[in-house]
Structure 1
Amino acid sequence: MTTALPRRTVLASGATAAGAVTLAPALPTAAAGGRRRRVFAHGVASGDPLPGGVVIWTRVTPTSAASPGSGRGPRVTVRWEVARDAGFRDVVRRGTFATGPSRDHTVKVDVTGLRPATWYHYRFTWDGVRSRTGRTRTAPATRATPRNLRLGVVSCANWQAGWFSAYRHLAKRDDLHAVVCLGDYLYEYAPGEYGMGQGNVDVRRHDPPREMVDLGHYRRRHAQYKTDPDLQELHAVAPWIVTWDDHEVTNDQWRRGAENHQPGEGDYLRRRARAHRAYDEWMPVRLSGTADLRDGTRLFRSLRFGRLAQLSMLDLRTHRSQQAADPTTVSDPKRTITGRRQMAWLRGALDRRPQWKLVGNPVMIAPVDFGTLPDALTGAVRDVTGLLPEDGVPYNTDQWDGYTADRNRVFAHIADRGLRDVVFVTGDIHSGWACELPYDAATYAYENPARRTAGVEFVCSSVTSNNLKDITGDPTGATSTAVEEGIRANNRHVRYLNFDDHGFSVLDLTPERAQMDWYVLTGPRDDRSAGIRHETSWRTRSGTGRIEQVDTPVGGPA
């Protein structure tokens, strides 16, 4: 995507979750609690739930010298426990984990031998100090038929652009089986480079106070983000399923370079390797199928939730061709956004048996034709979404629109196999969208039920990263409304578009339908007390490949 400065390409069982759960305090006294906050300053997290296992994570700070990214501090052994109850009277798994400066004192354990579709509690202990307690949940058994699957959906959380109020409100829900993060979990920029609004105001400054390039920089930035109390809370209440987009390394990256990488910053592939190493250390995710380090960096993977759903998470940065400088080359069959190996894997994943075939998609796949927008608006739209290149040609060359041969391969596979119930869940573009995915966008008419689709796409907004109103500075929203109306007029498959709000989404699946609810902040991003409200809901009924608006969101607080 593109920002303004510098340029950027702007489970379920039959019931919903187990109800509100009070996490047990780690230690009984204020003094002990203070020490806990120093030793386990970065919270706890879990992720990648399987029917019999889940990854649990923390970071220990054994001495003041052992700060993130320092490469200093002693090697220590941390104890971990997993229990069925918050009081840890029924511990089902326990063990120890050795960590030290070689892995930035992070702890990541792939806990196995657990029961499917079950809530668990976990914690860590070092030198008599306990971490806070986290809560996690395993996936349903492969042949189970869960009544629903409910996922929180987030993307694009820029520390400098505001407080993470969206995380706070999402964490208050007691009905989520997991949280899906579709990329841009953190940002690489130095203070003053990409903040809030037209002036790039730093609501809070990045650490280290420079663009991250070295391994120590990436480690410190991950550590900083995980000190945010709202992010810590959301990590502690449910497992996360994550993928990266570009900013986890640097803006507009492709397989051998990036827009925001200059020769003076060293070899790009080495920079990317450092970023991936820090990501592996600091995120509750399996790379190349394991929680171990140094065994590979493959991030694309599938997680299954019984017979109801399978979630296939894509990596659309590591293997892609460079973005097209000439829009006439976007259909070149030699150019790829997935890479050959990931494309074969994705087509195989779509063939599998679960009813709902979810695709965790870092960048938008729906075709978008912008027609003619006023000259004064094309720059703002480009800065927010990357949907318009500098020459004004209406193509989105950083998204699937810039790699149409790969999109055609996916859509053709869906058509040839007669696949149904395909839902792409997308982040990246700092705006909310609900779209159908026509095989022929030029002749598509929503009113004609004979017009077939490859599926639907639901796009969540950003947690904090700038949207169109932020860039234009129009407090009335009139500018955004004009752009939204123009886009929908030129793209009849785009049914909902919101360029103005920040927040999160909730995706709920049942055998009958898949529904996405969009929630937006009621206050500015620099207000830590900003509220939340339900904005809209859209669903696709099973077997239709079409979407419709609905009035009522699913579960959770209003």
Structure 2
Amino acid sequence: MSPFNRRDLLRSAGVIAFAGAAATAGTLPARAAASATAAGFRHGVASGDPLPSSVLLWTRITPTPDAEPGSGVGPDVTVSWEVAEDSGFLRMAARGSVRTGPARDHTVKVIPGGLKPGTAYWYRFTASGVTSATGRTRTAPAAGAAVDRLRMGVVSCANWQAGYFSAYRYLADRGDLDVVLHLGDYLYEYAPGEYQARDVVVRPHDPAVEMTTLSHYRRRHAQYKTDLDLQALHAAVPFVVTWDDHEFANDAWSGGAENHTEGVEGAWAARRDASKQAYAEWMPVRFEPGGHIYRRFEFGALASISMLDLRTYRSRQASSVVDPAIGSPARTLTGDAQMDWLLGGFSSPATQWKLIGNPVMIAPVRFPSTLSAQEVGAVEQLLGTTAIDGVPYNVDQWDGYTADRSRVISHLRDNAITDAVFLTGDIHSGWACDVPADPLTYPSNGASVAAELVCTSVTSDNLDDILGTPPRTSSVAVEEAFKGANPHVKYLDFDSHGFSVLEVTPGALRMDWYVLSERTNRAATSTLSTSWQVAAGTQAVSRVL
């Protein structure tokens, strides 16, 4: 697929006007020019879920001063939209209008059809004489088309209170991405002072309470979308997203969450439904309440991306790592329908690479018995489990649902499926792993059925933050202990914040990990840390850099 040309995006009149204003004010970085918003479109524009003939477009209109996010007030309003093949909107591809109002928090989602496959488009919105920023998006290649390369940004775990979203700025500035894959924890539910950067609130959450109601979730989504770096990335590249737990509450499962007290914080069903409604309203995703968010996208014959939902259908986490229920076939992480859908996608001959957007790790992780009590506690906090104690399971990951994992591994092994790669977030650290058919005999049997690549957090705490030590000091020994206990784990970085870039070609898939210098500094620098690849047909990771 052809890379985006960021200079074309900057030719938009609205963007140029914003860049000039930013330079004059001296408070907004020029690189945030793509976030140009008129008074009525304060939350930017976004696109997502590209198909060969359509892509979803999103914005939010503030028609009157009192129509604030989550307020439930303000008039219904008509919003017009345009899609063009050029930044000057001379070659129009589609246009239309839609009504929105307080019933959906004045958000707008439209899906123009009849677009050309593998084509870049510009889009914008207008209401009451006010025009939004211009965004750029791209449709997916035609089904079965030969595609030489797919390049995507990969991110997860962006906690507003813990720092600035510099990772999004660097991805927006690249100009060569086809899509951004967001693997969950797009936002966090906590109140100010509950979860932040080394116990320092860099910028406080709004509202100033833990979000539990529809108004809370709407306001929090709105706050995140005022971030100029996030606006710039949304305006530059289509997103493909799924949720993990913090879009609802920490360690969510089908009937509750670790961070939810039934009754005291209302009924879980009401809180879950409110969070899903706000997510559907505020995210550029083909999801509406009552539907399901697991879905699949194909990029010609090169790759498919299957986005999983590992919170809605899961059984409650096991009570401890020695709970015999961990391996019970009656317990599930995916639910039966999603599991059948996932396995069917693996078996499809339509695409070479089978990529899985996987919110929690699938590779088994055995915890070293050599860790100190302090290290055990820190890793326990990082990985979100309450029962480590030197035994081999994190009950919130696939490790806590071994029957479901066995179904996936057996299907890959028994059907000789190649080029399956799990792309994972959640645990604020970078990993490159083989997924062994049998971890007890690996690597002597040499059997890896898939690969797993885990991106680190945008801002959420890493191990060094929890230990209160400088990066790349105390964590290094912990990393080596984990790799020693898990020979299928080839790369592990417990400390860094940043983003990843994934490049897929017929010959190999490669992930580059980029590290930010300081998440609490708006002017953080970015450095390429390491690169690992999966050569076609190998089901194994190997180091490139």
Q: TM-score range by the shorter chain?
A: over 0.9
Secondary structure of the residue aligned to 2:446 is: coil
- Label 1:366 to 1:29 Cα distance change in 2 as closer, same or farther (>3 A): closer
Match in the other structure for 2:461: 466
- Assess if the C-alpha contact under 8 Å between 2:367 and 2:388 holds in 1: no
Q: How far apart, in 2, do the equivalents of 1:410 and 1:99 lie?
A: 42
Aligned residues: 526
- Label 1:143 to 1:19 Cα distance change in 2 as closer, same or farther (>3 A): farther
User: C-alpha deviations, 1:476-515, integer Å up to 9, x for none?
Assistant: 5321001000000011100000001000001111000010
1:306-385 alignment runs, 5 A limit: 306-327=300-321, 328-329=323-324, 330-353=326-349, 354-372=351-369, 373-385=371-383
Q: How far apart, in 1, do the equivalents of 2:336 and 2:413 lie?
A: 20
Q: How far apart, in 2, do the equivalents of 1:201 and 1:27 lie?
A: 34
Secondary structure of the residue aligned to 1:520 is: strand
Give the drift of 1:300.
0.3
Match in the other structure for 1:443: 441
Secondary structure of the residue aligned to 2:181 is: strand
Report the AA paired with residue 240 of structure 1: F
Secondary structure of the residue aligned to 1:515 is: strand
- Label 1:108 to 1:86 Cα distance change in 2 as closer, same or farther (>3 A): same
Q: How far apart, in 2, do the equivalents of 1:476 and 1:239 lie?
A: 33
1:81-120 alignment runs, 5 A limit: 81-120=82-121
Report the AA paired with residue 152 of structure 2: L
Alignment equivalent of 2:395, drawn from 379, 397, 402: 397
- Assess if the C-alpha contact under 8 Å between 1:388 and 1:395 holds in 2: no
> Alignment RMSD, CA only?
1.7
- Label 1:540 to 1:144 Cα distance change in 2 as closer, same or farther (>3 A): same
Give the drift of 1:270.
1.0
Q: How far apart, in 1, do the equivalents of 2:111 and 2:239 lie?
A: 14
Q: How far apart, in 2, do the equivalents of 1:116 and 1:505 lie?
A: 26
Match in the other structure for 1:25: 13
Secondary structure of the residue aligned to 2:527 is: strand
Q: How far apart, in 2, do the equivalents of 1:27 and 1:453 lie?
A: 48
Match in the other structure for 1:555: none
Secondary structure of the residue aligned to 1:443 is: coil
Structure 1: gaps spanning 5 or more residues: 1-11, 288-292, 552-558
Match in the other structure for 1:76: 77
Report the AA paired with residue 433 of structure 2: C
Match in the other structure for 2:384: 386
Match in the other structure for 2:30: none
Q: How far apart, in 2, do the equivalents of 1:357 and 1:345 lie?
A: 13
- Label 1:19 to 1:218 Cα distance change in 2 as closer, same or farther (>3 A): closer
Match in the other structure for 1:130: 131
Q: How far apart, in 2, do the equivalents of 1:110 and 1:302 lie?
A: 17
Alignment equivalent of 1:533, drawn from 527, 530, 541: 527
Match in the other structure for 1:479: 474
1:162-201 alignment runs, 5 A limit: 162-197=163-198, 200-201=199-200
Secondary structure of the residue aligned to 1:136 is: strand
Give the drift of 1:22.
3.0
Give the drift of 1:392.
4.8
Q: How far apart, in 2, do the equivalents of 1:224 and 1:27 lie?
A: 21
Matched, 1:550 2:528: no
Match in the other structure for 1:260: 259
Give the drift of 1:451.
1.1
Match in the other structure for 1:208: 207
- Label 1:128 to 1:150 Cα distance change in 2 as closer, same or farther (>3 A): same
Secondary structure of the residue aligned to 2:270 is: helix
Q: How far apart, in 1, do the equivalents of 2:163 and 2:195 lie?
A: 11
- Label 1:41 to 1:503 Cα distance change in 2 as closer, same or farther (>3 A): same
Structure 2: gaps spanning 5 or more residues: 23-35
- Assess if the C-alpha contact under 8 Å between 2:320 and 2:395 holds in 1: no
- Assess if the C-alpha contact under 8 Å between 1:388 and 1:394 holds in 2: no
Give the drift of 1:143.
1.5
- Label 1:20 to 1:443 Cα distance change in 2 as closer, same or farther (>3 A): farther
1:151-166 alignment runs, 5 A limit: 151-166=152-167
1:232-243 alignment runs, 5 A limit: 232-243=231-242
TM-score normalised to the size of structure 2? 0.94
Give the drift of 1:371.
2.5
User: C-alpha deviations, 1:258-304, integer Å up to 9, x for none?
Assistant: 000012011101110000000000000011xxxxx45x230000000
Q: How far apart, in 1, do the equivalents of 2:173 and 2:16 lie?
A: 24
Report the AA paired with residue 312 of structure 1: S
- Label 1:408 to 1:36 Cα distance change in 2 as closer, same or farther (>3 A): closer
Give the drift of 1:20.
4.2
Give the drift of 1:388.
6.1
